[in-house]
Structure 1
Amino acid sequence: MLSTFVSASLLLGGVAEIAAPQGIAQADPVDELIASMTDTSRRANEKNEEVKQLEVGLEDGQAKLGELNQWAADLTAQAEQAAATERESRQVVNRLALSRYRGALTDPLTSAFAARNPQNAIDRTAYLATLSQKANDTVARLGAVTKDAADRRNEATMAIAESKFKQSELEKKHRELLQEQEELKRISEDLRRRVESLNAADRQRWIDKNGPVAYNLDGVAGSPSGMSALEAAMSKLGSPYGWGSAGPSQFDCSGLVYWSYQQQGKTLPRTSQAQMAGGTPVSINDLQPGDVVGYFPGATHVGIYAGNGMLVHASDYGIPVQVVPVNSMPIYGARRY
């Protein structure tokens, strides 16, 4: 009886072992890799865009700091010159108060007694009074100029201090982001090796993850500006992806948008967030060829609308510039330049 029970148990166990693989859905390792790479690439792209934005901010801050330094130097020179002129004027007035006018004291009463006749006394007194008033006015005016120049110099000094503080904060944040990006780079390099190790069929699945299509601009019409940018982007179909790259041989997402518009002499911001903060907001239902479309929370990815519900963009590592449906990713918004 016991042996029958054991045999039955073994039989059932064997059946369970055989049936388990059929009853449990096995995850596709390529799908897992694609999901992992997509997530890591999105995080890396987000950090990459933040670093680029900080680099732009640092460059602007340094330029502003140079302008402030020059402004402060100019104001300092003006203040010193005004103070020197004021000192000289005061010395002139002081000398005038102690000197004689044609042999007479500058005191009006003394001048009157020293005059040859009444008219001469009146003339001397009036002249000295006018001269004294002009001197006092000059001193007062120069004193106001000196105060104004000193105030502007203090204002410039405060602005420089503020600019240096902000620049210090930006540099600190930049260092932090570079450290984070270095960690993401390590992860991306690991995933890069895994992607490179895929066979041809699985590698194609990675390239096709957003549903790319063969596409041309036959019959597509739009504004001259938008069409020119779109045509430039389409000329780069097949170009490789490169983090932080803005052409002409490889691109990241915002780099492709930046380069495409630059070909027609129009300079857009360099980062995806800044590109989605500029231009004119456009409804997704009113997209025109050349409009810039942003994706994911925070606008961490962008592409150029290609008409007919399509988008040309630089996607991820290992995926060349391609055309995909505009709704193949979660849309953040759109801008027209």
Structure 2
Amino acid sequence: MGSHRSVAPASGFNRGAGAALCALSAAAAALGAVPAHAAPSGETRAEVDRLYTEAEQATEAFNQAGEKAGKLRREVSGAQDAIARQQERINAMRERLGALAGAQYRAGGLDPSIALLFSDDPDEYLDKAATLDRLTVHQAGQLRELQSAMRELSQDRAEAAGKLGELEKSRRAVATHKRTVERKLARARELLNSLSPSERADYDRVSRSGRDDMPFPGGQASSPRAAAAVAAARSALGRPYVWGASGPTGFDCSGLMQWSYGQAGVSLPRTSQAQAHAGRRVPLSQAQPGDIVTYRSDASHVGMYVGNGQVIHAPYPGAPVRYDPVGMMPVSSVTRP
């Protein structure tokens, strides 16, 4: 999102970081002191830009929290399945040991020397006694195995409980960042509505401007996968920005990148910060179609380079997926997946 501007209904899932949340809360408190109609248009535009930037930072934190919550849910589900299997194994071991103990008790009800005296076939008795000794050794081994299985089960349950606690914290973070984004976007909408039609048109024009003093390459995509991702991104042109969404009907900035490369069979991480590291870094002057361009020092916005100095990106609420100059805001990195 960059110089980011208008607003749409919130949707999706996300999380955030404590420090960022504190900064966002402080900013929101400061904003609340200035009525929208009292701010000059230039200050209003700057304030909207700041709000969109902060909302996008919170959106990426929300995405990160949602991704973590999903991973934890899968881990908890796997742990619960493993616990159930281990419990079944322990139950079966207990049944076998119980049957063996009963047989041993019945076989050992007489003193061995007396049993030998009353045996009709001493040789047969000696064979059975040897088997009984082996069963006793086997029983001891099964007992040790049962004890080990029970210790593992206890550890698995403790780990699952820890993951459940972590999942609950992540869910709370998601909810917190969702509220932060919604608050920022609502304030930005209020400020935008205070602009006159000509000021709003000027705001949108400025938001799409970029540096034109750099030569940018056109060229071919770096690989068939990159070409397929570019085609997917182009197919999404005109679809709405929806924060926390990764397609196919709406996107936030990193959701568009993940979805586009997903159509090419490439799995990208969910957040713009992680996408900045999802491949090989290249200089902006050597960018090729399909390369991922991240923006700002915190890599909180991302677009896809499509050649001739243009990116396709999901800009901000109220603005659909579109082309913009690659230099529309400070470039943080260019990554070739």
TM-score category, normalised to shorter length = 0.7 to 0.9
Between the aligned partners of 1:86 and 1:44, the Cα distance in structure 2 is 62
The answer as to whether partners of 2:208 and 2:324 remain within 8 angstroms in 1 is no
**Which residue, 71, 77, 87 being the options, matches 1:76?**
87
Q: Give the letter aligned to residue 42 of structure 1.
A: T
Q: Give the letter aligned to residue 71 of structure 2.
A: D
Distance 1:33 1:321, change over 3 A: farther
The answer as to whether partners of 1:48 and 1:244 remain within 8 angstroms in 2 is yes
Residue 88 (structure 2) pairs with residue 89 (structure 1): no
User: C-alpha displacement at 1:96, in angstroms?
Assistant: 0.8
Residue 77 (structure 2) pairs with residue 57 (structure 1): no
The answer as to whether partners of 1:221 and 1:227 remain within 8 angstroms in 2 is yes
Q: Rg: which structure is higher?
A: 1
1:110 aligns with 114
Between the aligned partners of 1:283 and 1:30, the Cα distance in structure 2 is 39
1:13 aligns with none
Distance 1:297 1:201, change over 3 A: closer
Q: Give the letter aligned to residue 311 of structure 1.
A: V
Question: Which consecutive residues of structure 1, in runs of 5 or more, have no partner in the other structure?
Answer: 1-27, 100-105
1:171 aligns with 171
Distance 1:248 1:62, change over 3 A: closer
The answer as to whether partners of 1:314 and 1:321 remain within 8 angstroms in 2 is yes
Q: Give the letter aligned to residue 44 of structure 1.
A: A
Alignment of 1:188-203 (within 5 A): 188-194=188-194, 197-198=197-198, 201-203=201-203
- Measured on the aligned residues, the alpha-carbon RMSD in Å equals 3.1
The alignment's TM-score, normalised by the length of structure 1, stands at 0.76
Distance 1:115 1:321, change over 3 A: closer
The answer as to whether partners of 1:295 and 1:302 remain within 8 angstroms in 2 is yes
Count the aligned residue pairs. Answer: 296
User: C-alpha displacement at 1:322, in angstroms?
Assistant: 3.4
Q: Calculate percent identity across the aligned residue pairs.
A: 26
Between the aligned partners of 1:226 and 1:319, the Cα distance in structure 2 is 25
1:224 aligns with 224
User: C-alpha displacement at 1:75, in angstroms?
Assistant: 1.0
Deviations, residues 58-105 of structure 1 (Å, cap 9, x unaligned): 222223222212211221121122122212211211111115xxxxxx
Q: Segments of 4+ in structure 1 off by > 6 A?
A: none
User: C-alpha displacement at 1:42, in angstroms?
Assistant: 0.9
Greater RCO, CA 8 A, separation 6+: 2
Deviations, residues 188-242 of structure 1 (Å, cap 9, x unaligned): 2213323574457525434434469xxxx98534311111111222344444433
Between the aligned partners of 2:55 and 2:225, the Cα distance in structure 1 is 31
